[in-house]
Amino acid sequence: MASVPGLAAELARRDGAVPVLRLPWPAEGTPPEGFATAVVLPLRAGARAGVAAALEALRGELLLALPGLGSVDVVVDGRMRTLSAAPADGGIAITDGGRATVWRVAQRSGELPAGLVADRPVEERGRRSWTVTWAVPLDDSADGRRGRPSPLPSGQVVHAPTPSDEPLTLPARLIAPFPLGPDRRHVVPGPVTDALVTAAAEAYADLLASLPADPVLLALVPRAGLAGAALDAALGSAVLDRLRAVAWLPVAGRDGVRQPPDRAAALDDATDERVAALAGVLPGLLPAAWSRRSDLPARTALGIRRIAIAEAVEAVRGVERPASWWAELYAALDGADREELAALPVPLADGRTAHGPAGVLLPDPGLPVDRLGPLGLRLADPAAAGPPA
């Protein structure tokens, strides 16, 4: 090949390494009207059914990995189905056969240092720019909560950019130019993969921070010990580290405010009323919907502090609040374990505070408690003992 003028320079650029490629042959005829190029793939005998099934299985999210394509027409047995992609509010609208789904997308881009790709094939050394994409579909019909993500089911794979055999337990679509081995199915470990894993973790945190503060976000948190392979484990670990460091969790009673997990706290047996009553006392408290027992593994993985009712009771000791506030707190804590409420402060009618409800008398409505002071009775403040205003 070195003697061929048109190939000598390319051979030198490749340091004498000649690639083995499957090249197309020129076909007879002309492309269909409206097309500049047509690629004809003759099928082997008996392959038609398999190809038809593969075409039927194509889904619109294929276009997430092919941003240069606006649409794809899939024709099987004379029936045409159009897959298309178009920008949408905060994402990409994927239309598949007439049904549209908006995907929220987060990306990170950059360029790999030359030294990082020194041992990679010539083609990769010449294309050092990269873009990592995470995408998750939005379920706008769910309870009317616009932009609520719909985590993908299990069985996902890494797209590099087309589907690989690398399992992915994170319930979102990952598209990244990971270096592939000769089989084009598995990602090759090494510094390039490590760099892209780091970028993928940053993009994943961007994705969660861009979504509405809905407790379904906890379903997008990786679970320790569930990785399907080495790359999946590396992605899960890096994503978890990043999610612990950025502000994406809500704060009860403070609309629009986000906080990192190390400042957040979840109340055991949380209800909306309990969280509302305690939000001003317990900093970083999560809304009740984020404190469900079913989401405990995700909160534990993030390192979110867990607050028992007894700890909340301890936190309100010494707090100066009007009697009406205490009435709201007592109503919210109704039904909690009595042992956990043993130290709950009770404001008394004479201005003192009892450290625990034991021995405190509840005055009947209309009782002139101000006249009972000489008796030394531990009477609860009527405004605290009555129903909340």
**pLDDT tens digits, 150-166:** 999 999 999 998 899 99
Residue 11 has phi, psi (to 5 degrees) of -65, -40
Average pLDDT (224-252) is: 93
Give the model's pLDDT for residue 371. 58
Average pLDDT (224-234) is: 86
Round to whole Å and give the CA distance between 253 and 283: 11
Give the model's pLDDT for residue 128. 82
Beta strands at 129-137 and 99-111: parallel, antiparallel or unpaired:
antiparallel
pLDDT beyond 90 at 243: yes
pLDDT beyond 60 at 142: no
- Cβ of 248: how many Cβ atoms within 10 Å? 21
What's the mean pLDDT when you consider all of the chain?
Answer: 88
Structure tokens at 73: 């027409």
pTM score, whole prediction:
0.86
Higher per-residue pLDDT: 178 or 224: 178
Structure tokens at 306: 């867990």
| Residues 195 and 111: beta-carbon distance below 8 Å | no
Higher per-residue pLDDT: 116 or 171: 171
Average pLDDT (276-286) is: 95
Environment class of 54 (CB within 10 Å of its CB; exposed 0-12, middle 13-18, buried 19+): exposed
Average pLDDT (336-348) is: 93
Give the model's pLDDT for residue 23. 64
Environment class of 198 (CB within 10 Å of its CB; exposed 0-12, middle 13-18, buried 19+): middle
Give the model's pLDDT for residue 373. 57
C-alpha neighbours within 13 Å on the C-beta side of residue 148: 13
Give the model's pLDDT for residue 350. 82
| Residues 172 and 135: beta-carbon distance below 8 Å | yes
